[in-house]
Structure 1
Amino acid sequence: MSNRAIEAHSAAEMTGRHFRYYDFVMAAFVAVLLLSNVIGAAKPAVIEIGGEPWVFGAGILFFPLGYVIGDVLTEVYGYARARRVIWAGFAGLIFMAFMSWVVVSLPPAEGWEGQAAYESVFGQVPRIVFASIVAFWAGEFVNSYVMARMKIWTQGRHLWSRTIGSTFVGQGVDSLIFYPLAFWGVWENEAVIMVMITNWGLKVLWEVVLTPVTYAVVGWLKRKEGVDLFDEGTNFTPFKTQV
């Protein structure tokens, strides 16, 4: 399909319209979200910068991708469709938490010696996912709200200001909620605070670094979908799933 001319519309005018790539972006968002909680969030890692150790959560490898996709969703498809994706991710996290508990609780077969390691890796998943659900819900909605509002304030210009500004606020909320809920009393308190602050800064820095990627993806999707949506008159309540 050839690129369409990009036409500006209010998001309300596009209610009920089918977008060709929306479902794929939703699937990518949910996949990154689940992977970040299964294999990233529970491990503190360390690197040396200038001879000094810097501790960070391994989830930093995933969360920037999630926030970039979240920014793309709001910028291209509007707050209401981004809200629907956030709720899809919320449901996925709850299902993952439940199934993790079921699988860990199942009695191991005789002769299988991996139960201890399995419990070590996945035993904390319910607590981590609970913290992630709360932090994800609050942080992602704040991110999307700020993104949508700033698009109106800037009249669709200066995309970089919206992506960085929304990530600064949204990731601040996410980190402030997630790390104390997930790891207070598990890690040393100083480590929790250090990881929380470091990851917040690194996530914002990642957003800055990935700005050219965001520009490329947003531009490509807008050309393919043929619209540029503005959330004028949008109901910004998070407690809906309908577009």
Structure 2
Amino acid sequence: MRRQYRYYDLILAAFVAVILCSNFIGAGKAATLDLPYFGLVVFGAGILFFPISYLISDVLTEVYGYAYDRRTVWAGFAALGFAAIMVQVVIHLPVAPGSYMANYQQGLETVFGNSWRIALGSMIAFWCGSFVNSYVLAKMKVWTQGKYLWARTIGSTATGELVDSSLFYMIAFYAVWPTAEIIQVAIAQYILKTSWEVLATPFTYWIIGYLKRKENEDYYDTNTNFTPFQLKVDR
């Protein structure tokens, strides 16, 4: 019988919430930030919250192992798929008469009209980047015998985010935004999200330490089947 954990389900729910909100609320807006030495930097607004998903993924892999994070990634993937379908259904439903609903419909189409591409880009980039992140962290934990947690969390995030950033903006916004802006935003997103992980390292240490004590778990993926196409936890 598979072992039951006190906090895993809560962490999974938090992961799904972060994925949905960061991809649908923040992804479509290009924001700016004036940084010292760098000047005006353009970035996707979702970058402020999406890195939390990588932090959660690192925590899940470090404490519970790759197989539990794999289940979480698939839950987030399914939630994104459902949200994308729901958005398209809502947009294409006939609009009730009246100026208010006409304006409301226009607003929905402005915000979510490109949602199918955002959802497609989000799902592909998120799925690929998340599994790369979890795989690298799990393998590094075995290689380092559980040492250098900071190097494992930052290294795995930098690798996963590189895959994610390389895929998402080209899929979601090619021919919608100017290509130069897509590249600029993608690079800024990668740098800022990886930097976010570095700054969050003390909190990552704390939450991992807390969960390891409370769950009495510190799993090493020595004999794990790393295929992403599986939901079963073989322990």
Name the TM tier (shorter chain): over 0.9
Contact 2:57-2:134 at 8 Å conserved across structures: yes
Give the deviation of 1:157 after TM superposition.
1.0
Unaligned runs of 5+ in 2: none
The one of 13, 32, 43 equivalent to 1:56 is 43
The one of 12, 26, 33 equivalent to 1:40 is 26
The one of 216, 224, 227 equivalent to 1:234 is 224
The one of 21, 27, 31 equivalent to 2:17 is 31
Q: Which 10-residue stretch deviates more, 43-52 or 164-173?
A: 43-52
- Counterpart residue number, 1:215: 205
RMSD: 1.0
- Counterpart residue number, 2:90: 103
Unaligned runs of 5+ in 1: 1-14
- Dislocated runs of 4+, deviation >3 Å: none
Distance 2:106 2:21 in 1: 22
The one of 136, 159, 162 equivalent to 2:152 is 162
Distance 1:64 1:44 in 2: 17
Whether 1:81 aligns to 2:71 is no
- Counterpart residue number, 2:54: 67
The one of 15, 21, 34 equivalent to 2:7 is 21
Instruction: Deviation per CA, 1:12-39: give whole Å up to 9, x if none.
Output: xxx7111110000100000000001111
Whether 1:149 aligns to 2:139 is yes
Q: Which 10-residue stretch deviates more, 51-60 or 132-141?
A: 51-60
Paired residue total? 229
Whether 1:192 aligns to 2:178 is no
TM-score by length of 2: 0.96
Distance 2:53 2:80 in 1: 14
Instruction: Deviation per CA, 1:128-177: give whole Å up to 9, x if none.
Output: 01011000110000000001000001111111011000001000000001
- Counterpart residue number, 1:3: none
Name the aligned partner's letter for residue 35 of structure 2. Answer: I
Whether 1:129 aligns to 2:119 is yes
Q: What are the equivalent positions in structure 2 for 1:198-209 lying under 5 Å apart?
A: 198-209=188-199
Distance 1:59 1:181 in 2: 16
What percentage of aligned pairs have identical amino acids? Answer: 56
Name the aligned partner's letter for residue 113 of structure 2. Answer: G
Name the aligned partner's letter for residue 73 of structure 1. Answer: L
Distance 1:239 1:86 in 2: 11
Distance 1:219 1:33 in 2: 24
Contact 2:23-2:50 at 8 Å conserved across structures: no
